[in-house]
Amino acid sequence: MYNQIRVLVVDDMETMRKVTAAQLASVGIEHVELARDGAEALKLLQSKRFDIVVSDLVMPVMSGMDLLRAMRSQPKLENLPFIIITAEAARSSIEDAVALGISDLLVKPYTANRLLQGVKRAMQVGARRQSSSPAAVASRRDAVRQPHLAEETTQATLLLVDDTADNLHLLAEIFKGSYRIRAAHHGQKALDICFSDNPPDLVLLDVMMPGMDGFEVARRMREHPNAEGIPIIFVTALTDESAKMKGMELGAVDFISKPLDPVQLKLRVNNFMRYVALRKQLQADYDNLLETARLRDDMDTMMRHDIKGPLTGAMSTLQLLLDDADTTRRQGEQLRLAGHAILQVMEMINLSTELLKIETGRFTLDAKPLPIGDMLRRIVEMARTTYSARQLVIAVDTDVAVGSEAPQAAGDAMLTYSLLNNLLKNACEAAPIASRVSVTLSVGDALSIAIRNQGVVPEEIRERLFQKHATYGKPGGSGLGTYSAKLLANAQCGDVSFAVSDQDDTSTFLVTLPKSR
């Protein structure tokens, strides 16, 4: 089933790369290549085909997050499933990764069983949805709701490692009833348990053992994804500081000297088991975060599909009425207005996808020449009809000499139309009744479009005008108009700024866009 899957494993630790490849091989995934950082991985992705990327989050040169951003900005790689592996990460970083469309996130330590589950989910769902039909969305929803494979019992597991049977018996009696107890009387047995698909939650590890001492057991544990994050408490008769220092360097969380104080030992183990519970809760929280994001995306996809269908039908009906000989001129004007409103809604639906790509760094501009003058005239004509009840004078002007070649912007037609339409809409809604709104196109090194209206932007909102959801004194306003306009301009190598003249009682929004050459 998995023998044709090609996986790229990215980790700055050679041992971790090899162990992860071995884990994948153990479940039948044999086509695995390795990269030591994001930069090396990106080069491989450019030259070879892979089905899944499994990457550590924190790496030198190029981190896993930077690799993910780079992939999502390239059409060839934007849909490639991506599994993140991490030991520590700020929640904001995880939220950014989820927004960029990761397939799964594994908190260390993780098992081969859990890794396989991540691969399954990645193949079923994909990093980014590629089908928008309701049936496909329902199938993906079922896939992401599959429960995680059981990896833990109701009780936390405590592994006791000691070469003396009496010591194992004593430790087992201390923790009997509190935890699920497993025991190993030598180092290799302890490693076999730690590397299995059911590793312990905490290890009480003797140092002085024949064959393989506790320090060597700890060192090997730190090189395996199943065991590298398992807390270790060394239990030993050694008392010198150098031994304690060596244990701490190997990642021990505590160092307890023999003879043991059962009460103190139990308190320390209980405290670290609370840490274990927090780690498990962290994985559960990230799983819920991922599922919520997937379900939200699926709902958005279904909404877009379900809305666009009826709107397309409505447009067909309007066209039939416009073609009907019995339709009067006034009725035709009203039908055309309704048709434009439907087209605007459909454009907003399409635009929402592009805005998400821009916000998450996955947008790639395909700039083409745009007849900006014609676009402005169409937007102004529609605004005159839409706001006719407000008796506004909406004028469009250009400093291009008569007979000169019409200027063209370099950008995306839909994005440019939306940002200009948004700003003109805001100007018309803010302008006093029977006032003037002007749109002026100027040509220099870049194209400049100034949209000016009577009335000033309230002082309370000026500093945060381009922030998301910034609104003031506008019931029901989403605060997305100026925010999205700024995003759309920046995505096309342009910008949006504004100026207020309290003396003239005017507000001016200035849009700059690159010229087509």
User: What's residue 29's pLDDT?
Assistant: 85
Residue 351 and residue 226 share a domain? no
Mean pLDDT of the 80-100 span: 78
User: What's residue 472's pLDDT?
Assistant: 66
17-31, 86-100, 271-285: which has the highest mean pLDDT?
Answer: 17-31
Instruction: Tell me if 440 sits within 8 A of 494, measured CB to CB.
Output: no
Q: Kindly state the percentage of the chain with pLDDT values over 70.
A: 83
Mean pLDDT of the 195-218 span: 89
Strands 202-206 and 232-236, sheet pairing: parallel
**Residue 296 maps to a domain:** no
The first and second tokens of residue 267, run together, are 């308190």
Residue 510 and residue 376 share a domain? yes
Work out the number of other CB atoms within 10 angstroms of the CB of residue 287: 17
The model's pLDDT over 54-76, given as tens digits with 9 standing for 90+, comes to 999 888 889 998 999 899 888 88
Mean pLDDT of the 44-61 span: 91
User: What's residue 272's pLDDT?
Assistant: 82
User: What's residue 1's pLDDT?
Assistant: 60
User: What's residue 148's pLDDT?
Assistant: 43
> Quick one: pLDDT band at residue 403, thresholds 50, 70, 90?
low
> Quick one: pLDDT band at residue 90, thresholds 50, 70, 90?
low
Residue 438 and residue 343 share a domain? no
Buried b (16+ CB within 10 A) or exposed e, 303-326: ebeeeeeeeeeeeeebeeeeeeee
Instruction: Tell me if 334 sits within 8 A of 327, measured CB to CB.
Output: no
Work out the number of other CB atoms within 10 angstroms of the CB of residue 486: 22
Q: Nearest to residue 220, comparing CAs of 254, 188, 248? A: 188
Mean pLDDT of the 440-444 span: 92
Residue 375 and residue 343 share a domain? no
> Quick one: pLDDT band at residue 347, thresholds 50, 70, 90?
low
**Residue 64 maps to a domain:** yes
Question: What would the DSSP string read from start to end of 488-510?
Answer: HHHHTT-EEEEEEETTTTEEEEE
The model's pLDDT over 105-142, given as tens digits with 9 standing for 90+, comes to 887 777 777 788 888 878 775 534 444 444 444 444 44
Residue where a domain stops, chosen among 77, 110, 128: 128
Residue 476 and residue 382 share a domain? yes
User: What's residue 106's pLDDT?
Assistant: 83
Residue where a domain stops, chosen among 265, 281, 297: 281
E strand or H helix at 46, and its extent?
helix 38-47
Residue 500 and residue 468 share a domain? yes
Q: Nearest to residue 489, comparing CAs of 421, 397, 438, 391? A: 421
Say whether pLDDT at 434 is over 90: yes
The model's pLDDT over 155-184, given as tens digits with 9 standing for 90+, comes to 789 999 998 898 899 889 898 888 999 999
The model's pLDDT over 262-285, given as tens digits with 9 standing for 90+, comes to 888 888 888 888 777 777 777 777
SS (H, E, C) 312-364: HHHHHHHHHHHHCCCCCHHHHHHHHHHHHHHHHHHHHHHHHHHHHHHHCCCCC
**Residue 411 maps to a domain:** yes
**Residue 200 maps to a domain:** yes
Residue 348 and residue 374 share a domain? no
Say whether pLDDT at 143 is over 50: no
Please give the distance of CA 450 from its chain centroid, rounded to a whole number.
35
Domain interval for residue 250: 157-281
Residue 238 and residue 376 share a domain? no
Classify residue 204 by burial, with Cβ atoms within 10 Å: 0-12, 13-18, 19+: buried
| Amino acid found at 427 | A
> Quick one: pLDDT band at residue 402, thresholds 50, 70, 90?
low
Please give the distance of CA 159 from its chain centroid, rounded to a whole number.
37
Q: What is the CATH number of the domain that holds 437?
A: 3.30.565.10
Residue where a domain stops, chosen among 264, 281, 298: 281
**Residue 305 maps to a domain:** no
Say whether pLDDT at 424 is over 80: yes
Residue 372 and residue 355 share a domain? no
* Whole-angstrom distance, CA of residue 281 vs CA of residue 276: 9
Strand-by-strand arrangement of the 104-107 sheet:
31-35, 6-10, 52-56, 82-86, 104-107
* Whole-angstrom distance, CA of residue 127 vs CA of residue 125: 7
Q: What is the CATH number of the domain that holds 77?
A: 3.40.50.2300
* Number of structural domains found in the chain: 4
102 or 162, greater pLDDT: 162
**Residue 138 maps to a domain:** no
User: What's residue 147's pLDDT?
Assistant: 42
Residue 377 and residue 350 share a domain? no
* Whole-angstrom distance, CA of residue 241 vs CA of residue 232: 18
Buried b (16+ CB within 10 A) or exposed e, 440-474: bbbbeebbbbebbbbebbeeebeeebbeeebbeee
User: What's residue 294's pLDDT?
Assistant: 63
**Residue 414 maps to a domain:** yes
Mean per-residue pLDDT over the chain, rounded: 81
Instruction: Tell me if 86 sits within 8 A of 272, measured CB to CB.
Output: no
Instruction: Among 63-77, 293-307, 483-497, 503-517, name the one with the lowest average pLDDT.
Output: 293-307
Model pTM score: 0.48
Work out the number of other CB atoms within 10 angstroms of the CB of residue 508: 18
Residue 321 and residue 272 share a domain? no
Mean pLDDT of the 338-364 span: 73
Residue 30 and residue 61 share a domain? yes
User: What's residue 113's pLDDT?
Assistant: 74
> Quick one: pLDDT band at residue 391, thresholds 50, 70, 90?
very high
Q: Nearest to residue 344, comparing CAs of 321, 373, 378? A: 378
